[in-house]
Amino acid sequence: MTTARERTNAVVGTREFLRTLASSGNATPAGDVQRTAEHLLRHYPLDGDLAVSAAALPDLWEDPNRRTRRGSMSRNSGAARNRGPQ
The structure's pTM equals 0.57
Q: pLDDT tens, 15-53?
A: 988 888 877 766 667 778 888 888 888 888 888 999 999
Dihedral class, residue 48 (left if φ above 0, else alpha if ψ from -120 to 50, else beta): alpha
Q: Which of 46, 34, 35 is closest to 7 using CA atoms?
A: 46
Q: How far apart are CA 4 and CA 54, in angstroms?
A: 15
| pLDDT exceeds 60 at position 83 | no
Q: How far apart are CA 10 and CA 16, in angstroms?
A: 10
